[in-house]
Amino acid sequence: MKKASITEAKNHLSRLLEIVKSGTTILILDRNKPVARLEPVANDQDTSSERIAHLIRQGLASPPKRSLDVLDFLNWKRPKLPNGVSAVQFLIDEREQGR
């Protein structure tokens, strides 16, 4: 996230807005304390596939390696949790073990 002082924002608003249009958020600081944020307005016309493509172009997401097989996903064997075990804790333990 880019940062700009109030003076910089006032003197270079057009330049900062061009940066925001490209998808970058700018934090406005008053004496090094955050007071406002300039961020792109989500376009209601954007489809989710356009948003995903934008994230991929920015390097924030990766395209899928293969398409989702819905039937395979729905038939996927889910782990049975022992009685009294939290699903969240089970997931954390599973990730720590690298499964």
Place of tokens 């073990």: 97
Query: Quick count: other Cβ atoms within 10 Å of Cβ 41?
Result: 7
Phi-psi region of 59 (alpha: psi -120 to 50; beta: other; left: phi over 0): left
Q: What percent of the chain has pLDDT over 90?
A: 46
The order of strands in the sheet holding 26-30 is 2-5, 26-30, 33-38
Mean pLDDT for the stretch of residues 41-49: 70
pLDDT digits (tens, 9 = 90+) for 19-37: 999 889 999 999 999 999 9
Residue-range domains of the chain with CATH: 2-57 (3.40.1620.10)
For 12-86, where are the alpha helices, taking DSSP H only?
A: 13-21, 48-57, 70-74
